[in-house]
Amino acid sequence: MIRIIRQYHKSLSVISPTLAAKSAFELFRKVRIKELRDQEKPFYDEANDSELVFENEVIHSYEFGNPNHDIVVLLHGWDSNAGCMYKFVQPLLEKNKYVLSFNLPAHAFHEASKTNIYEAKETFKKFMSTLPEGRNISIISHSFGSGVVGYGLSELNLEVDDLVFLTTPDRINDIFVDYKNLIGLNDKAFHILCKKASEIIGEDLNELSIATKLKKADFKYLHLFHDKKDKILPYKNSTQIASDIENSTLHTLTKMGHYKMLWNDELVKSVMELID
């Protein structure tokens, strides 16, 4: 399939760079809706679920535990759903945490099938605005969700305690460069694609990095977990952020991969030690 997509966009880039950029942008926004895996289903069976209704959006949210306890927010990554964070729920409840989560736009049970980091960031901000005041807040996020957290917190007047990034993007332009090479866009079509993305985000794609956003966010400490040979998001993303953010630590992983880490007992145990 990817070979067909690459050949199509390579040819279209020559014929019409504008059409190629438009097609590539729509494909980039497309979320692959997957059936819930067996290990994710208990998350939805056990959670108290609700819909947070805003003027133009409904957020599917989930909660576990005592609402009077300190809060831990779980945020999933791209092409995933809140249920992928289920492994962290019971250990957090045992630490007397109020566990909250939600599904990003176009993921899981949403009717829409397309989104982008700007829309996801805005949804995150809306969700965080509903949290009770006067409570300690920590966030555990995976992959794309970590980028959403860093981006969103930079625009919120909100102090949080620990951030735990289970892999993360950094320079958004790097993601687009990898995408360009994957689907075969030429330079002219790629320039149009980046211009369109910059217009939607409201800032230059070349200047958008999670490390830069985190410098504007109010948090006490950042822990980064990343497998050295992660095939989805390069390890260098976390090394760069760790070098740029003073109050951070990089926990280097081996043989945990990108997705399997979420179900690894040792990783969950390490994260729980930090949440204390």
Per-residue pLDDT of 199-218, as tens digits, reads: 988 888 888 899 999 999 99
Q: Are residues 19 and 107 in the same domain?
A: no
Same domain for 2 and 133: no
The structure tokens listed for 120 are: 């996801």
Q: Are residues 87 and 138 in the same domain?
A: yes
**Orientation angle between helical segments 2-15 and 172-183, nearest 10 degrees:** 90
Q: Give 99's pLDDT tier (boundaries 50, 70, 90).
A: very high
Of how many residues is the chain composed? Answer: 276
pLDDT at 223: 98
Helix extents (H) in 154-276: 172-183, 187-201, 210-214, 236-244, 265-275
DSSP state of 255: S
Q: Per-residue pLDDT tens for 216-234?
A: 999 999 999 999 999 999 9
181 and 246 fall within a common domain: no
Buried-exposed string 83-108: b where 16+ CB fall within 10 A, e elsewhere: bbbbbbbebbbeeebbbbbbbbbbbb
Domain that holds residue 194: 1-30+172-207
Residue 49 phi, psi (nearest 5): -105, 155
Distance of CA 146 to the CA centre of its chain: 4
User: How large a percentage of the chain has pLDDT more than 70?
Assistant: 99
- At 148-196, the pLDDT tens digits run 999 999 999 999 999 999 999 999 888 888 888 888 999 999 999 999 9
Name the nearest CA neighbour of 54 among 100, 119, 134, 136: 119
Task: Specify whether 85 is located in the same domain as 215.
Answer: yes
Same domain assignment for residues 73 and 178: no
- The 3-state DSSP class for residue 256 equals coil
* pLDDT for 236: 96
From the list 271, 258, 225, the residue with the least C-alpha distance to 84 is 258
Q: What is the pLDDT of residue 74?
A: 98
pLDDT tens for 116-140 read 899 999 999 999 999 988 899 999 9
Domain co-membership, 223 together with 269: yes
185, exposed or middle or buried, with CB in 10 Å at 0-12, 13-18, 19+? buried
Question: Mean pLDDT for the chain?
Answer: 92
| 263 and 133 part of one domain | yes
Q: How many domains does the chain have?
A: 2
What is the model's pLDDT at position 183?
A: 85
Residue 1 has pLDDT above 80, yes or no: no
CATH of the domain at 229: 3.40.50.1820
Predicted local confidence at residue 209, as pLDDT: 94
Residue 3 and residue 99 in one domain: no
Asked if residue 7 and residue 111 are part of one domain, the reply reads no
Quote the Cα angle for 107-29-119, to 5°.
Answer: 65
**Cα atoms found within 13 Å of the Cα of residue 43, Cβ hemisphere only:** 25
pLDDT on residue 275: 87
- The pLDDT confidence band at residue 260, using thresholds 50, 70 and 90, is very high
- Per-residue model confidence (pLDDT) at position 131: 95
Classified as helix, coil or strand, 154 is: coil
